[in-house]
Chain A
Amino acid sequence: MNTIQKIKYLGVAFVVSLFSFSCIDELPLVENLPNPDVAFTYSVIDNTYQIDYYVGATVQFVSRSAAQGTCSWDFGDGTTAEGTTVTHKYAVAGTYSVKLTVSGSGSLAQNILISDIRPIMKLNPIDGGLCEVLSTYVSFNVELPNPETLTEEYNWTFPAGTLDESGAAKESFVGKDPGKIKFSNVGSQTVRLKVVLGGRLLEESTLNVQVAYNSTVPTLYYAVKTGNIMALKLVGTAPVGMQINPFDLGVKSGQHPLNILFNDTSLYVLDCGKQFTYVNDVDGNQGDGRITILSKDGGKVETMLTNIGAAFDDPYYGYIESNKLYFADRNTGFATIGLSERNNSFSRVSYPYYVQNATLGYYGQGLSFGAMNAGFGKINGVWYWCKTYNGNGIFRFTDADILPAPITGNGVLPASKVALDGMSPKSFVWDSKNQVLYFTIYDTGYEGLYRCTLAQLNAILSRTDLAPYKLTLANGKTVTPITEAGKGEGAAGEFIGICQLALDENDGSVYFGLRSADATVKSGLMRYNPASGKIEYVIQGVEVYGVAVNKTKSKLF
């Protein structure tokens, strides 16, 4: 064996040994592997606050493992224990990953959220049940979990316009019981309470007091982007010194509630889900839209319909008539659901199209495959169906015009014809009392809110004909919804800068949310005021999807 051969053999032996050691080192311990036979539960075993998991609570951990072996616990806060059943108290609020290891078998880690102590604020019962602006006094009850009887310091903050029993302004108070107070402003009045417990400042607690107006007026509902469903009393001109603030109903708006509809005593929220723009949903499983029903005070929320099928089948736009809710998908048609239906799952078999692009004579003659849906509804027995892509305009038809089966073209054109032919109308509302139609247009250079009679609508044959009907603010500016990709939400045909109009039948005002493309006109909740003939701000800065009016007058909801 020469030297080179020796080196070769040594090299091979070295490499083999390297692999062997590497293999051994990389094997994890069996205890560190998840094992379905390792399981545990936990619960607070103190006599009180068992569902709160406060800091300092005694939490009992019990191994429910089928695997045999010694149970070792890692509580995630640097402490450990051994035994089948153990207890632990966490000193600091937060989320901890608790790991149970059964020797020779495996392990399991599960989260536990430990909450900080915070005061529990409650409103004492109000005579008559209604807190009315400027007249109803309210008082509070505060409960503070304090098992170690530490020192307590209470600091209250009241909203502007809060008055004490003597009528003096009361913006803050130090002490547990602030006594009776009343409010000068309507809407959700947020009372804040900070507590220092044993020298440690706890997380602030808040309580919304829903303060009613002092006479009956309609209510506007609107869905705030990434926020909640809000309500606003439509007071018109508020009394001097009184602010009309919105009510937070405490119910999330959802992902994209492009339309909300009020009927009887309920608000129907049509949320087309996270993905409302184009998606190549080849498996037909990206749908996540739903229709939710809120009681008018937001106290009860029910699910009417959920879609977990195709994304394009999510509910985008809606219209209510005769105990039926008509709901449109993204770009094919609309179906119906009874207003009393609850907890249903969408399928096209269960909810077949009431009408679709291809069951109208317009198909192939102005209306193309996948013509994108927008707002729709009925005026004087005629359907008005806004389309913003692949066939643009308001396609009008009667129930009799709906064909029994889809066609490929050459159908008989409905006699009611297309309005705003070739333009991109997004939403409309009909004021039957004043016989005027309000609509929004998204065409570049013509974006805005318009108002005209039906005869005038029929006479609009090109975009230049729109000019006389365009509505403006008092400063002469117009509202310009965002129609630039990347600036707002959606792309061509999908833009939702003004996605719904709502009419207050009492005074003819039209409300809408504006996502403004014009830096000099702020986004916000707006209205067209027929008394002034101008568009006005209702609330600046807020980003709004759908809007709806409960015309039934009330002090609260």
Chain B
Amino acid sequence: MEIKRTMKKSENMKKIQIVAVILMSMLTFSACDINDTLDQDVIVGNMAPQVYWEVASSTVTAGSNVPFTAQYYSTSDAKIDHLEVWYNMREQESKTVNCPWTTSMVFNFTSTTSVEKRISQKISEYPHLETNWSDALSAYTFTATFPTSNTLASISWIKPTSFDSTKMVSYFGAGFMQHFKDSLYSKMQAVDFQKMYQGLNLVSNFKIYLDSTFNNNTGKYDYHFPADANGNMPVPDAIRVIYQSIPFPDLIMNTSNANYEVEFSRSYSIDANLKAVDAKGVVGTAIKTTISLN
């Protein structure tokens, strides 16, 4: 009896094991079916047309047409329908203002920016022609141009010999000149005031505003404003008042070169793409080319 019971138990175990294996197999297969990582994580697209282009020049005059040569072919059974040139537009600005009077430090304002000002968009379209085929290249090829806008001509105002406050405000903003003047004042030392005031003929004898201390390291006298009771060396009132009367252009005037130490340039560039579109609407894109406009 005991033996029979044991055998029956064993048979039951086997059945359970077989059922478990079947269940596990079903689970595994169904899991495979559901968790198809390729299907879930990868978008399998269509074969896109192959397209290559060369732009004749990486710098062109704004408003001119940009010549290019294209090569393309289809890698699927769909024929090429047409080609398109797309580009965005970036604006680059560079600004520098320098005060040439300072000797204790270099005081200048510098700013360089590059910002996308227009998104990429279709500029021109070219029909696909069977006559474009080249046996030598085993590809379709053609030469054409795409347009650029006259409005994107570069602007530059570099160390002008005459100061134009309208341009200064337009290029640097309304509050810039006062901000520059205030910042400069906070950094200037006695020697800087001395050089500026003498250069601009604002005082006849600057030394009356100065005190001096012998510098054992250099073996010379260091000139500075007189110290107050706390040991600070504030800018004398007379010097401060004169500074307030100095017009901004004088702060940046380079008397040696007879010009003003201000530089502004604004230019534009485009990131251009050539796209080949096949009959199914599948798009192949050539490598991006950056073109500067002047």
List B contacts of A303 (CB < 8 A): 58
Contact B56 A250 (CB under 8 A): no
Compute how far the CA of A116 lies from the CA of B150 in the bound complex, rounded to whole angstroms: 11
Q: A111: which of B58, B115, B147 is its contact (CB, 8 Å)?
A: B115
List B contacts of A239 (CB < 8 A): none
Contact A42 B119 (CB under 8 A): yes
CB distance from B86 to the nearest CB of A (A): 11
B236 within 8 A of A: no
Contact B58 A302 (CB under 8 A): yes
Contact B63 A111 (CB under 8 A): no
CB distance from B37 to the nearest CB of A (A): 22
Q: A541: which of B94, B96, B117, B258 is its contact (CB, 8 Å)?
A: B258
A199 within 8 A of B: no
Segment 14-32 of B: residues with Cβ below 8 Å from A: none
A427 within 8 A of B: no
Contact B156 A227 (CB under 8 A): yes
Contact A302 B257 (CB under 8 A): no
Overall SS of chain B's interface:
strand
List A contacts of B89 (CB < 8 A): 113
Compute how far the CA of A41 lies from the CA of B123 in the bound complex, rounded to whole angstroms: 13
Compute how far the CA of A54 lies from the CA of B156 in the bound complex, rounded to whole angstroms: 21
Contact B294 A250 (CB under 8 A): yes
Contacts A52-B149, A226-B158 hold; do A111 and B59 have CB atoms under 8 A apart?
A: no
List B contacts of A292 (CB < 8 A): 58
List B contacts of A226 (CB < 8 A): 94, 96, 158, 263, 265
List A contacts of B159 (CB < 8 A): 541
Contact A54 B96 (CB under 8 A): no
Compute how far the CA of A205 lies from the CA of B149 in the bound complex, rounded to whole angstroms: 13
CB distance from A147 to the nearest CB of B (A): 15
Contact B118 A112 (CB under 8 A): yes
A95 within 8 A of B: yes
Report the nearest A residue to B170, measured CB to CB: A203
Q: A42: which of B117, B121, B156, B257 is its contact (CB, 8 Å)?
A: B121
List A contacts of B118 (CB < 8 A): 53, 111-113
Category for how many chain B residues contact A: 35 or more
Contact B117 A251 (CB under 8 A): no
List B contacts of A51 (CB < 8 A): 123, 147-149
Contact B58 A301 (CB under 8 A): yes
Compute how far the CA of A116 lies from the CA of B149 in the bound complex, rounded to whole angstroms: 12
Compute how far the CA of A118 lies from the CA of B155 in the bound complex, rounded to whole angstroms: 14
Contact A41 B119 (CB under 8 A): yes
Contact A302 B119 (CB under 8 A): no
Contacts A226-B263, A486-B106, A541-B159 hold; do A112 and B117 have CB atoms under 8 A apart?
A: yes
A120 within 8 A of B: yes
Q: A53: which of B94, B151, B256 is its contact (CB, 8 Å)?
A: B151
A43 within 8 A of B: yes
Interface centre among B59, B158, B294 (most CB of A within 10 A): B59
Compute how far the CA of A228 lies from the CA of B159 in the bound complex, rounded to whole angstroms: 14
List A contacts of B61 (CB < 8 A): 250
Report the nearest A residue to B259, measured CB to CB: A541
CB distance from A489 to the nearest CB of B (A): 12
Overall SS of chain A's interface:
strand
Compute how far the CA of A252 lies from the CA of B257 in the bound complex, rounded to whole angstroms: 23
Contact A227 B158 (CB under 8 A): yes
Contact A301 B59 (CB under 8 A): yes
Segment 346-405 of A: residues with Cβ below 8 Å from B: none
Contact A113 B259 (CB under 8 A): no
Contact A118 B150 (CB under 8 A): yes
Q: B257: which of A95, A251, A541 is its contact (CB, 8 Å)?
A: A541
A110 within 8 A of B: yes
Compute how far the CA of A51 lies from the CA of B65 in the bound complex, rounded to whole angstroms: 12
Compute how far the CA of A110 lies from the CA of B121 in the bound complex, rounded to whole angstroms: 13
Report the nearest A residue to B96, measured CB to CB: A226
Report the nearest A residue to B118, measured CB to CB: A113
List A contacts of B263 (CB < 8 A): 226
List B contacts of A72 (CB < 8 A): none
Report the nearest B residue to A120, measured CB to CB: B150
CB distance from B265 to the nearest CB of A (A): 7
B145 within 8 A of A: no
Report the nearest B residue to A540, measured CB to CB: B257
B267 within 8 A of A: yes
B91 within 8 A of A: yes
List B contacts of A332 (CB < 8 A): none
Contact B57 A299 (CB under 8 A): yes
Compute how far the CA of A340 lies from the CA of B84 in the bound complex, rounded to whole angstroms: 30
Contacts A120-B63, A523-B257 hold; do A52 and B117 have CB atoms under 8 A apart?
A: no
Compute how far the CA of A428 lies from the CA of B265 in the bound complex, rounded to whole angstroms: 33
CB distance from A130 to the nearest CB of B (A): 18
Report the nearest B residue to A227, measured CB to CB: B158
Compute how far the CA of A541 lies from the CA of B292 in the bound complex, rounded to whole angstroms: 27
Contact A252 B267 (CB under 8 A): yes
Per-residue contact bits, chain B 61-97, to A (CB 8 Å; 1 contact, 0 not): 1010000000000000000000000000101001010
Compute how far the CA of A147 lies from the CA of B235 in the bound complex, rounded to whole angstroms: 59
Compute how far the CA of A252 lies from the CA of B269 in the bound complex, rounded to whole angstroms: 12
Interface centre among A51, A116, A519, A522 (most CB of B within 10 A): A51
Per-residue contact bits, chain A 225-245, to B (CB 8 Å; 1 contact, 0 not): 011100000000000000000
Segment 137-196 of B: residues with Cβ below 8 Å from A: 147-153, 156, 158-159
Compute how far the CA of A51 lies from the CA of B63 in the bound complex, rounded to whole angstroms: 10
A8 within 8 A of B: no
Segment 287-317 of A: residues with Cβ below 8 Å from B: 292, 298-303
Compute how far the CA of A54 lies from the CA of B149 in the bound complex, rounded to whole angstroms: 10
Compute how far the CA of A141 lies from the CA of B61 in the bound complex, rounded to whole angstroms: 17
Question: Could you pull out 15 A-B pairs where Cβ atoms are within 8 angstroms?
Answer: A51-B147, A110-B119, A115-B151, A118-B151, A120-B150, A206-B153, A226-B94, A252-B294, A292-B58, A301-B57, A301-B292, A302-B57, A302-B58, A541-B159, A541-B259
